[in-house]
Amino acid sequence: MIVNMDELPATQSLTCKLKLLLTQEQAEAVRHTALAYRNALNHTSAVAFANGKMSQGMKLQTLVYQELRKRFGLPSQMACNAPRQVAAAYKTLWERAKSNAAHKANGWTKRRYKGLDKAPRFTALTVTLNHRRDWSLGKEQTVSIGTLTGRIRCRYEGWNRHLVWLAQPLYHGITLGAAKLWQDPVSKVWYLLVSIEKSLDPRAMDSITTVKGVDLNRRNIAVESNTRGKCRFYPGGHWRHLAERVASTRSALQAKGTRGAKAVLRKLALRERRLNADTAHCVSKAIAEPHAMVGLEWLKDIRNRTERRHSKKASVRRRKANRKVSSWSFAEVQAKTAYKTRLSGGVPIWVDADYTSQTCPICGHIGQENRPDHGLLFVCAQCGHTLHADLVAARNIGMRTLLIRQDWVRTGRLSAAPEASGDEAKAARLSRYAELRWSLDASSVL
């Protein structure tokens, strides 16, 4: 089988979080460097702001480079990284400002975006380090890091799989990239966050034995169904309970609006992020398996789905429900599922999300009437087929994934995402989806 490798990534990028075991003097040197770097970032941010809120890294670098070297004592690499980082931050702010302008034009919001009103301040203690120049791996689980007062070498701890990879990067197909020094604001422990690229085994693509669809939604974090009829629910009741409690505490604090409340809110935001990351980690780890082609809904469609919360027509109840939607990170669960699938030797792909929860898998009838009262049950208005609505969606995604799998076998081309194709190609795909019928004998699904 010929695989069109343009469509499939040959590598997977990920981050290894290494806990640094520093002596007191080493920790002092790292802290000194991080403070200087943070001051440099804030100076650069002010310069960028004064120059039309500049978001071009190279231009910004020419403005600040000499001063970063002399006044802040940064080595040359860091004096290049700081303006690059600041420019990237401004770029994000500009993008947010643009999308806010669009939302205002559509009447979704009345609020004006304030992110560009003053120069953003960098408060976290982080330093971006280039591989080989500013940081490198040493023997026996050690790492060498450049500081303003010279290089330090220390041991590190981390996740077992990462330790194995880093002990022999070449053997495991690992390419090391930039790293970030980061201090945990609560525990004050220093970490090195190393970006790596792991090359994927191209033979994995030839050995697919399972095809499954994964539906992400609000009631259950995820529901998966393979084309042989096996299904699995990830209900996440425990996480949902915690997330809802965090959300209600947050709105109470926001109403209060005092300085103390704001401090608690910041802590709460961190907790919420950890909770989401933990959820995404557990669910995606369970879904990923070797020799599996895992179909996910194309993310853009999911975003459109949650954008309903901006609508003025939305009822109070709807808005309340949507608030909970936005606190779930679909994107995070998806991204983690995709990368864990790749790393375990499977192939993640994306399919159109249109009508996945409204289409009858037995007779193909499409319509909102298949979801009486928008409830948990799917009841086909044509053939009467009745099933849990989330399972219907997972099965439809699974069948679309199988269709892509069969196209791949037939043509040798795999389209991993419906991204670039136009409206016509999409209409053609949707009409092919309408022909799909659920059957436990996979070969009879055309």
Give the footprint of Zn ion on this chain (CB under 5 A). 360, 362-363, 365, 380, 382-383, 385
Provide, rounded to whole angstroms, the least separation between the CB of residue 311 and Zn ion. Answer: 30
Provide, rounded to whole angstroms, the least separation between the CB of residue 431 and Zn ion. Answer: 18
Closer to Zn ion by Cβ: residue 400 or 405: 400
**Beta strands at 347-351 and 292-297: parallel, antiparallel or unpaired:** parallel
Residue identified by tokens 């993310």 is 299
Which residues of 282-395 form beta strands (DSSP E)? 292-297, 347-351, 377-379, 386-388
Provide, rounded to whole angstroms, the least separation between the CB of residue 377 and Zn ion. Answer: 13
Cα 340 to chain centroid distance, Å, stands at 12
Cβ neighbours for 114, distance < 8 A, ≥ 6 positions apart? none
Closer to Zn ion by Cβ: residue 276 or 382: 382
Provide, rounded to whole angstroms, the least separation between the CB of residue 232 and Zn ion. Answer: 24
Q: CA 214 to CA 221: how far, in whole Å?
A: 10
Strand order in the sheet with 135-138: 126-129, 174-183, 190-199, 11-21, 150-157, 142-147, 135-138
Closer to Zn ion by Cβ: residue 95 or 369: 369
Provide, rounded to whole angstroms, the least separation between the CB of residue 358 and Zn ion. Answer: 11
Are 336 and 280 a contacting pair, CB within 8 Å? yes
Provide, rounded to whole angstroms, the least separation between the CB of residue 394 and Zn ion. Answer: 17
Closer to Zn ion by Cβ: residue 33 or 359: 359
Mapping DSSP onto H, E and C, the string for 211-273 reads: EEEEEECCCCCEEEEECCCCEEEECCHHHHHHHHHHHHHHHHHHHHCCHHHHHHHHHHHHHHH
Provide, rounded to whole angstroms, the least separation between the CB of residue 166 and Zn ion. Answer: 53
Closer to Zn ion by Cβ: residue 299 or 380: 380
Closer to Zn ion by Cβ: residue 383 or 425: 383
Smallest Cα–Cα separation from 318: which of 374, 257, 395, 376?
374
Closer to Zn ion by Cβ: residue 28 or 435: 435
